[in-house]
Chains A and B, each alone.
Chain A
């Protein structure tokens, strides 16, 4: 049994909240630069220039890339041989969010009551925590700050098995088309297929963590990812929805077994910053 102190968890979460908001991932940077080269729309090109320049300013001045520094969505893989000591596991994570969003000058965007009161919690807590117990004696934490603009362009659909893969493709493309410029294209499209209602939504979010350019290990779904990306980039939406070729940087699909009666499908869209950083204790 390996002991991990709650304070170590807090420290790591704090660091990852700041890092994810200040520093564009290398894979995203490369995809944006590639898009900049091939974009045919002059407006689209100018917008991609601004996005790349913005990433440099954020990195060099240590400021957030976007003012919407997001909901702190946190994925934890906790080794079953780990014993967390010196505090409550969930509170250690929330304390990391509190410190990261405070010390990092990140915007506090969470309201306590979703409908009636809507009062800001003022420290960006609580985080959304997804915990999975895995073999081993390590704790891996991924912090994925999620902005409201792109999160609002998400959908779960309980499809019929008869809809098949063509139905799934139509659902994804239609969702992207209807979202237009709202989720800050060029976007990353996370798709969850299978499981139950809540499982497929989770898979769509988890799909956003996969490095851009890496495909689903199942060649059947890898082909669907490639086809969807190509078709989405023919929609004409372009950077910020003002017209162009660079609408999506990647389509990532995650799948799970499902019930004989069901075929749940979910789309979760990420903005062009596709923020997420990970660390291990």
Chain B
């Protein structure tokens, strides 16, 4: 898995092509055409979401499915906002603490497993990593019972716990791989100065961990925000996060109202899209650091 954390490197310098300049130029044009074609294909669903979310009821005919709205209206957005706003608030309450806690635990684990090693550290690491790949369906029934027995209220509180617990493997992986790149001499120097394990972590590793924290925060934020599996098992439409609310909106009474559903889908995606746009550069690193829950 270490291969996954290597950054996307610099562009290779232009090749000295053996082919003639004319053929080289033709090849380049073809390549740009293909790149643009991919852009169009990727963005088609976005066009549909955007355009439909501004269409009034009059635009609903199938014949006009791909056309721009005859009149642009904000009605769908208003309906979607009134329906989803409370759930968006709950999602934030869920995502922020669970992201911070699981990031911190992952960083401690990563430090120990990479730089304060003991015999059997790799086996412990592999055992932790396995938690990332299990299908959560295989623990869901007893998990339900356990959360009930622990007395944790259904809805956001239990979802915070679950995102912390099942986030540990991936955050540990990301931090461990990052700390592996820290030169061992740095740790040795701290040890020579008499620093213990905690002091070494706090004074030496934590200050240089910011890039990893950014990656982990993006990753966990996106995962917890987008999660539907735990959400649908551990909350109801009245106390659930935004994915549950959106699913109810899209499958509920307003079934045929694609305009509202699509405005809702865009609304529910805004926080992760903002994270993606603002921290885009690190997002790539985050994507490459491992797997996805789901």
**Same assembly:** no
Tell me the B residues contacting A by CB distance below 8 Å: none
Tell me the A residues contacting B by CB distance below 8 Å: none
